[in-house]
Amino acid sequence: MEFRQLTLLKIYTAEDVVYNEKPFYKAVLEEARRLKLAGGTLSRAEQGYATETRGTGGVVQNFFGGVPNLPIIIEIVDNKEHIELLFPFLEKAGDKHFLAVTTEVTALQTKYVVENKLRLEEARK
């Protein structure tokens, strides 16, 4: 096993953000899969704020207040060149409510990653 440099793309958005008649977060993940990016995770946050407060404030408010509009965090990790393949999609969706940030990370390349790296590279061709 060895450590290698990768890029982490983190996108902050919300459940109510729509792109081409589907939730924006689903559109992002579909595009990442289409581009065969190495891996991604979607998380729903309990609360968040920027220009407006999002989230439920707890189960009681959700129970009495209807459907929550939870913040969404999408994290995608791959090498820099592959992450940049997603940028045109994000630029096209630039009028939507989201914040995308990238950072370079050091990741442990595990045995699983090594064994599946060739399969992923073949799928990208």
pLDDT at residue 60 above 50?
no
Distance CA 63, CA 10 (A): 30
Lowest mean pLDDT among 17-26, 33-42, 106-115: 106-115
Per the CB < 8 A criterion, the answer to whether 106 and 5 are in contact is yes
Query: How many CA atoms lie within 13 Å of 24's alpha carbon, on the beta-carbon side?
Result: 24
DSSP 51: S
Using the predicted structure, report yes or no on whether residue 59 has a pLDDT greater than 50: no
CB 65 within 8 A of CB 56: yes
Domain 2-124: CATH architecture, name and number where available: 2-Layer Sandwich (3.30)
Residue 99 exposure: Cα atoms within 13 Å on the Cβ side: 8
Quote the percentage of the chain above a pLDDT of 70.
Answer: 82
Which amino acid, residue 94? G
> Distance between CA 8 and CA 86 in Å, rounded?
12
Count of CA atoms in the C-beta half-sphere (13 A) of 45:
15
Tokens matching residue 49: 């704020």
Q: What is the pTM of this model?
A: 0.82
Amino acid, res. 104: E
Q: 89 pLDDT exceeds 80?
A: yes
pLDDT band at 62 (very low <50, low <70, confident <90, very high): very low
Q: Evaluate whether 47 touches 53 at the Cβ level (below 8 Å).
A: yes
pLDDT of 73 reads: 97
